[in-house]
Amino acid sequence: MAHWAVVFPAERLDEERLFANEAIPFEGDGPLAGDVVLLIAGSLLFGLGRIRAVNRVHYTHRLLDEPLPVGDLKLAGPGVYPLEPSVFEASAGVVDPGRRTDGSKRTWLVSVDMPIEAATPAEAARLFWSYVYELGPQQLPAFVSPSGNELAMQAFVLGVESNQDPEED
């Protein structure tokens, strides 16, 4: 098993925040099935993974909501870099094991609400999905609350908490 860092452009973190991808493709040579990988966007560690197929890292840990600075790890921009095991462990060791993607999960209620003018319920449903597809996570807030505590609802746009109250700044 070898140790690697795969560095993406900084904007890749925003892309990964939008969808629950199981794996992330990358370009470059070196990592083989079973190798472990640090996933870095710009200078932020956003995940840990393991190679299961050529040029695909499957997440073992996601840090999308709270990425960590890579600290003293000096990498020259996007690409694939071999790491010494001790260097890999120094970065991976700060990741909370409670963030494992295979750990227990909480139930959340997630909704997107919007008024739609239509002649029939079926037309309203079609227009809803068209709007969701067209506007996407860049413009539509998703409202999220823990199941059983709907008063704790928060709005998220682009995977980041967003205040939707027009009376507040």
pLDDT 10s digits, 35-80: 999 999 999 999 999 999 889 999 999 898 889 998 788 888 899 9
Question: Buried (b) or exposed (e) across 44-75, using 16+ Cβ within 10 A?
Answer: bbbbbbbbeeebebebbbbbbeebeebeebeb
Band of pLDDT at residue 159, cut at 50, 70 and 90: confident
Higher-pLDDT residue of 167 and 142 is: 142
Tokens 């980041």 appear where?
160
For the record, the structure tokens of 113 come out as 């609400």
- pLDDT, residue 100, reads 43
